[in-house]
């Protein structure tokens, strides 16, 4: 059984263009990632389910401002 991909929020430095982010999305998809949402209003980035190997590769990329595991919060 394969490893379950975790969901991450990936944000890019402000000088990174939309075309550059599109390239990152294409690479993520080619490596087994599934894009959940693209963000453009408040931040440049996307959320996606990513394989751990690609997360490890992406987290140190110079275009990336930060990458965080997405978490769900519930209320009582």
The predicted pLDDT at position 1 comes to 40
pLDDT at position 50 over 70: yes
Question: Could you tell me if 4 and 52 are in contact, meaning their C-beta atoms sit under 8 angstroms apart?
Answer: no
Q: Where are the domains of the chain?
A: 6-69
Nearest residue to 9 via CA among 29, 36, 28: 36
For residues 26-40, average pLDDT: 95
| 6-10, 38-42, 68-72 — most confident range | 6-10
Superfamily, domain 6-69: Peptidase S8 propeptide/proteinase inhibitor I9 (3.30.70.80)
76, two tokens: 């009582």
């Amino acid at each position: 059984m394969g490893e379950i991909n975790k969901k991450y929020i990936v944000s890019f430095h402000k000088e990174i263009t939309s075309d550059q982010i599109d390239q990152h999305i294409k690479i993520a998809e080619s490596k087994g990632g599934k894009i959940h949402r693209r963000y453009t209003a408040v931040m440049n980035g996307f959320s996606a389910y990513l394989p751990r190997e690609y997360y490890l590769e992406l987290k140190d990329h110079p275009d990336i401002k930060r990458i965080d595991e997405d978490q769900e919060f519930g209320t009582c």
